[in-house]
Amino acid sequence: MTTAVLPLDVPGIRRDFPALTTPFHGKPLIYLDSAVSSLTPLPVVERMSRYQSFEHTNVHRGVSTLSQEATDRFEEAREKVRAFINAPSVKQIVWTRGTTESINLVAQTFGRRNVHAGDEILLSAMEHHADIVPWQLLAEERGATLRVIPMNDDGELILDGLDDLINERTRLVGVTHVSNVLGTINPVKEIIARAHAKGVPVLVDGAQAVPHLHVDVVDLDADFYVFSGHKLSGPTGIGVLYGKRELLEAMPPWHGGGSMILSVTWEKTTYAPVPARFEAGTPPIAQAIGLGAAIDYVTALGLDRIAAHEHALLAYATERLQAIPGLRIIGTAREKASVISFVLDGIHPHDIGSILDHEGVVVRAGHHCAQPVMTRFQIPATTRASFAYFNTREDVDALVSGILKVQEIFQ
């Protein structure tokens, strides 16, 4: 039995986004680019503004009341992240600058300690550059090899050969939870279980998943789970690395400096326990508090309701786009989040993006920092529309009208 989900109050939500009611090229802004970065709702902006205006000082330093309160707010945000992904402990939530830094942190600490010459790192064919390049850098340094889990023409991972791909040389599996290009929702729980059966840990890139899905790192049994604030209605410059405690505690420090130490002498430094060990220097305090506010915001809306709304938009957009002659959707997996990539016969995505921009429709055009995905589908680039909880069917209609205008210009 499915439980009915109350619809979102989209007109009310839209009032939290001033950009949506401010003319853009003289037209209403149709923002269909949440996969690149979500708009920030006013309550999040106001929360960060309050901190900057009235509560600002450094954290974990000093004995002033102001310092203590800033530290409390900062650590409360960590607790909000913990609860949001159901992590067992706040000590497993490491603040980073974003998904990319989180992955680099794991590669440079866990990776450098555990990956040696002849070892393998297994990545899915739909990873974006942030989950490829850090591993390539590591592999080059250590003499290791990257291997790839292939995907089919629908943009679904082919898992038939996974048990052979994971072998005694595999040191880590890296997989995106939701593809930023194809929208595919990967069966990460199954992949993790199969990797664990061979004793191999799994890093899940959740950058595109957390805005759309309930993520429970315990249920998934993920070893590492990473995401960014700015795709979750929060600010840029803040991200999260979740890790299993025994893995984090076994990892050496990465960046050295203030806050990550227990004691320093000229002879020797002893390091703080996790997560402080990985948080050298003054952290992005306003951004962490802002991410906490963003989690409050989306939690209040309800991820179930967000998912239902976005799913309906995705279905509507898919139907309308498929009806356009010469348009081909790239990524037709059975399980998809609200991302549609497409190509138009004879028209390059950059030209589509420019003309749509002029119509007030903001989309992403390019390789989406996922060039191997483009190579897999033998295309140089795609146009991508991505939907959030504030989008409407009228936004989809505007996209369709814009595409028809592009085709008219290129006739």
Partner 1 sequence: MSDPRELYQQVIIEHNKKPRNFGDLEPCTHQAHGLNPLCGDDIVLKLVVEDGLVKDIRFQGHGCAISKASSSLMTVNVKGRTQAEAEVLVEQFRAMIRGTLDVEHQAHDLGRLTLFSGVKDLPSRVKCAVLPWATLHSALHGEDTTSTE
Q: Which residues bind partner 1 (CB under 8 A)?
A: 346-351, 354-355, 358, 365-367, 371, 374, 380-381, 409-410
d(CA 173, CA 201): 6
What does the block give as tokens for 313? 């938009």
DSSP assigned state of 107: I
- Give the residue with the Cβ less far from partner 1, 209 or 365: 365
d(CA 20, CA 392): 12
d(CA 20, CA 17): 6
DSSP assigned state of 157: B
Catalytic residue among 132, 362, 369, 388: 369
HEC per residue, 19-32: HHHCCECCECCEEC
- Give the residue with the Cβ less far from partner 1, 206 or 349: 349
For residue 112, the surrounding DSSP H or E stretch is helix 112-114
User: What is the chain's length?
Assistant: 411
CB 181, min distance to partner 1, A = 13
CB 402, min distance to partner 1, A = 10
Reply yes or no: is the peptide bond before residue 372 cis, omega within 30 of 0: no
d(CA 240, CA 215): 13
d(CA 169, CA 402): 50
Amino acid letter for position 146: L
Calculate ∠ Cα 10-12-14, nearest 5°. Answer: 70
293 touches 234 (CB < 8 A): yes
Phi first, then psi: give them for residue 268, nearest 5 degrees. -160, 145
CB 350, min distance to partner 1, A = 4
| 157: nearest Cα among 129, 192, 133, 130 | 192
CB 149, min distance to partner 1, A = 23
CB 405, min distance to partner 1, A = 8
- Give the residue with the Cβ less far from partner 1, 216 or 351: 351
- Give the residue with the Cβ less far from partner 1, 70 or 369: 369
- Give the residue with the Cβ less far from partner 1, 77 or 370: 370
Amino acid letter for position 397: D
Concerning whether 28 is annotated as a catalytic residue, the answer is no
- Give the residue with the Cβ less far from partner 1, 28 or 372: 372
CB 100, min distance to partner 1, A = 16
Active-site annotation, residues:
369
